[in-house]
Amino acid sequence: MTNSAETHELYDLAVIGAGPAGLAGAAAAAERGLRVALLDSAPQPGGQFYRQPAAAFRAARPQVLHHHWAEFRRLLTRVENAEADFLADHHVWSVVRESGAWIVRSLTGPDQRQARSLTARQILFATGAHERQLPFPGWTLPGVVGAGGAQAMLKAGLVLPGRRVVVAGSGPLLLAVASSLVKAGARVPLVAEAAGYLGYARGARTLAANPGKLVEGAQHGAVLLRHGVRLGPRTAVVAAHGTDRVEAVTLARLDATWRPLPGTERRIACDAVAVGHGLVPQLELPLELGCATERLPDGSAALVVDAAQRTTVPGVWAAGESTGIGGVQLAIVEGELAGRALAGETTAPASLLRRRTRLRAFAALMAARHAPGSGWPEWLEDATEVCRCEEVTAGQVREAVTELGAADQRTVKLLTRAGMGWCQARMCGPAVARLCGAADDGAPTRPLSTPVPLGLLAESTTAPSSQGAPR
Amino acid sequence: MRRNPLDLVRARPEPGFEFSFDGEPVPALPGQTVAAALWQADRLAWRRTRVGDRPRGAFCGMGSCYDCLVELDGVPNVRACLAPVLPGAEVRTQRGDGHDELR
């Protein structure tokens, strides 16, 4: 059943996403007098980074699974004191322009079947990111989970996917995940990092300018060392084995393009794998509005913003991971700058601007060092499923490309159904785009950001706009 | 005895309860999602895919991938990683698209 409630509450600003960027943006804008709605699909504020156990767990020290926890508490207090309206459990599915204002439509309630809409003069997207996945044989076995997924389930549900967890993929998140897992009692025999950590040396100046990041890295390193976790640079899980759940993985050393080096394979036992190859900005809603994107060094698409965090669409702003993966501190700085500018402040504090520049340089270094290598498709067998939803194999995608002449992700989708399922290519998109020969994640356009009951679409008077790239 | 996540954060959970998974009782704690309670009970799969009838469970853990779809109290296609588990809930393995009875 769908209960549509068209309310016409008018806000000065709707902030979409209550992670670090959204909280900072909402706080800064509301403190300067704007009437702010802060919407998030989760029951609690914090986003994926500050996911926390449900209140019923009565956790005395949730902060042990977190960095920058004090900053989070400060942001929450600011949002509360400034009286921004936090709307929990709101899955925003459409933002459209109507008579000079933005209509923000959400689904809420159990199973997200109740409709709620509000109107706002301006929009701040702080929609965060999801994990980039690169398929390998066996990655659909139960027990193989996203590295971010394992982290999210641990932070919120206080559970582990297994007792002996191999952490694999690429990017700084892997160290954080491995460190959480071992603190919570799992054994992590290895963190397999497809890139080499040595490459960081080329960014020595950027690293030196970001001592906070180095300290954080060193803290993870110390935890891993204490728990006997080995780091395997230039190493990947190239296959997971098992019948109904994962029982072992095959590791291989990689060359600089992530191609497995023959003869280096070895098998180790495990009962779970936490895998991820970096994060990609979540851009469905801003892309529908026609916000311009740029390609970052890791191949992800990120929103183009100006010095004040304005997107290319008037009245639409963005902060945090949606403008490029940069981590929690950058997200907070960007949110703060956006909130101030939204409230009409024309000059931003120089210290904030400097901090943003420094953190963005660090983000660019990470993106370049951990960009997926062009040789990763060699991990795939023809029978490896690439699209998890529609169960489309690498062989089918390759056939569409080589035999049927598909030159892009969209044509592959039409020919094979890859990317047509429930997740709308969130999981397979970056892989399929690369199998088509692209050196990037492809265009993450989706007409709706969350599944919507048909009855509700029929009821809505304004159809979602379609100004994004063709799909 | 190795540490567990509940000890790590010094949780003092409210009293636990049971729900059923494919007819068998499974313990859960208030505040857990269906997926978390099933992981806690060392169950990693609660869906069979449409094409290959392969087992699946939680993957992204944050509502993006829809791999963890489950039948909850007779309603199919519920994301187990988002849905809170309640006392007495009837959780069933989802087969195919969850609408087999319509065929």
More confident of the two residues A242 and A459: A242
- Examine the domain organization and report whether A138 and A229 are in the same domain: yes
- Examine the domain organization and report whether A284 and A342 are in the same domain: yes
Residue A454 has pLDDT above 70, yes or no: yes
3-class SS of residue A467 = coil
Indicate which of A113, A145, A183 best probes the interface with B, i.e. most B CBs within 10 Å of its own CB.
A145
Which of A230, A251, A277 is where one domain is finished?
A: A277
Contact A377, A254 (CB under 8 A): no
Place of tokens 């801003």: A286
Q: CA Rg, chain A, in Å?
A: 22
ipTM above 0.85, yes or no: yes
- Examine the domain organization and report whether A78 and A115 are in the same domain: yes
Place of tokens 């199919």: B76
Residue A367 lies in a domain: no
Nearest CA in chain A to B13: A57
Residue A442 lies in a domain: no
What is the mean predicted confidence (pLDDT) over B8-20?
96
- CA angle A153/A156/A159 to nearest 5° reads 50
Query: In this predicted structure, which of A152-156, A251-255, A421-425 has the lowest mean pLDDT?
Result: A421-425
Nearest CA in chain A to B45: A142
Q: What pTM, to 2 d.p., does this model score?
A: 0.94
- Examine the domain organization and report whether A285 and A200 are in the same domain: no
Residue from B45, B60, B42 nearest A149 by CA: B60
Residue A60 has pLDDT above 80, yes or no: yes
- Examine the domain organization and report whether A121 and A54 are in the same domain: yes
| Tens digits of residue pLDDT in A61-98 | 999 999 999 999 999 999 999 999 999 999 999 999 99
What percent of chain A has pLDDT above 90? 79
Helix and strand numbers (H, E) in chain B are 2, 8
Q: State how far the Cα of A312 lies from the Cα of A307, in Å rounded to an integer.
A: 12
- Examine the domain organization and report whether A20 and A90 are in the same domain: yes
Q: State how far the Cα of A318 lies from the Cα of A304, in Å rounded to an integer.
A: 9
| Tens digits of residue pLDDT in B21-46 | 999 999 999 999 999 999 999 999 99
Write out chain B residues lying below 8 Å of A223, CB-based: none
Q: Which residues contact A72 (CB under 8 A, 6 or more apart)?
A: A20, A23, A46, A50, A66
Among the partner-chain residues A141, A158, A391, the one whose CB lies closest to the CB of B51 is A391
> Are residues A157 and B55, on separate chains, in Cβ contact within 8 Å?
no
How much is the pLDDT for B102? 59
| Tens digits of residue pLDDT in B38-95 | 999 999 999 999 999 999 999 999 999 999 999 999 999 999 999 999 999 999 999 9
Residue A471 lies in a domain: no
Q: Which two tokens stand for residue A232?
A: 């395997």
Which of A226, A261, A277 is where one domain is finished?
A: A277
How much is the pLDDT for A272? 98
> Are residues A426 and B64, on separate chains, in Cβ contact within 8 Å?
yes
Among the partner-chain residues B3, B58, B66, the one whose CB lies closest to the CB of A153 is B58
How much is the pLDDT for A83? 97
Residue A241 has pLDDT above 70, yes or no: yes
- Examine the domain organization and report whether A273 and A154 are in the same domain: yes
How much is the pLDDT for A213? 83
Q: Give the CATH number for residue A424.
A: 1.10.10
Q: Which two tokens stand for residue A319?
A: 């902060």
Residue A174 lies in a domain: yes
How much is the pLDDT for A452? 78
How much is the pLDDT for A44? 94
Residues 34-73 of B with CB under 8 A from A: 35-37, 39-40, 44-45, 49-52, 54-67, 69
What is the mean predicted confidence (pLDDT) over A440-467?
69
Residue A462 lies in a domain: no
Among the partner-chain residues B13, B58, B84, the one whose CB lies closest to the CB of A149 is B58
Task: Report how many Cβ contacts below 8 Å link chain A to chain B.
Answer: 158
Q: CA Rg, chain B, in Å?
A: 14
How much is the pLDDT for A173? 94
Residue A450 has pLDDT above 50, yes or no: yes
Residue A370 lies in a domain: no
Q: Give the CATH number for residue A175.
A: 3.50.50.60
User: Cα-flanking dihedrals φ and ψ of residue A424, to 5°?
Assistant: 55, 40
Write out chain B residues lying below 8 Å of A152, CB-based: 60-62, 81
Count of other CB atoms within 10 angstroms of residue B18 = 15
Residues 73-102 of B with CB under 8 A from A: 75, 78, 81, 83-84
Residue A411 lies in a domain: yes
pLDDT confidence tier of residue A466, bands split at 50, 70 and 90 = very low
Q: Which two tokens stand for residue A441?
A: 């994640």
How much is the pLDDT for A6? 53
Write out chain A residues lying below 8 Å of B28, CB-based: none
> The domain containing residue A240 runs over which residues?
133-277
> Are residues B36 and A157, on separate chains, in Cβ contact within 8 Å?
yes
- Examine the domain organization and report whether A143 and A81 are in the same domain: no
Contact A166, A190 (CB under 8 A): yes
- Examine the domain organization and report whether A177 and A313 are in the same domain: no
| Number of structural domains chain A divides into | 3
| Tens digits of residue pLDDT in A102-150 | 999 999 987 778 899 999 999 999 999 999 999 999 999 999 999 999 9
Nearest CA in chain B to A246: B44
Using alpha carbons, list the distances in angstroms from residue A293 to A145, A330, A367, A471.
29, 19, 16, 15
- Examine the domain organization and report whether A138 and A246 are in the same domain: yes
- Examine the domain organization and report whether A239 and A183 are in the same domain: yes
- Examine the domain organization and report whether A185 and A257 are in the same domain: yes
Query: E-assigned strands of A278-382?
Result: 279-281, 293-295, 301-303, 316-318
Residue from A366, A380, A288 nearest A327 by CA: A366
Residue A466 lies in a domain: no
Using alpha carbons, list the distances in angstroms from residue A402 to A215, A257, A307, A399, A415.
48, 22, 44, 5, 12
Helix and strand numbers (H, E) in chain A are 13, 21
How much is the pLDDT for B101? 61
> Are residues A130 and B2, on separate chains, in Cβ contact within 8 Å?
no
| Tens digits of residue pLDDT in A1-41 | 344 455 568 999 999 999 999 999 999 999 999 999 999 99
How much is the pLDDT for A201? 73
Which of A242, A277, A312 is where one domain is finished?
A: A277
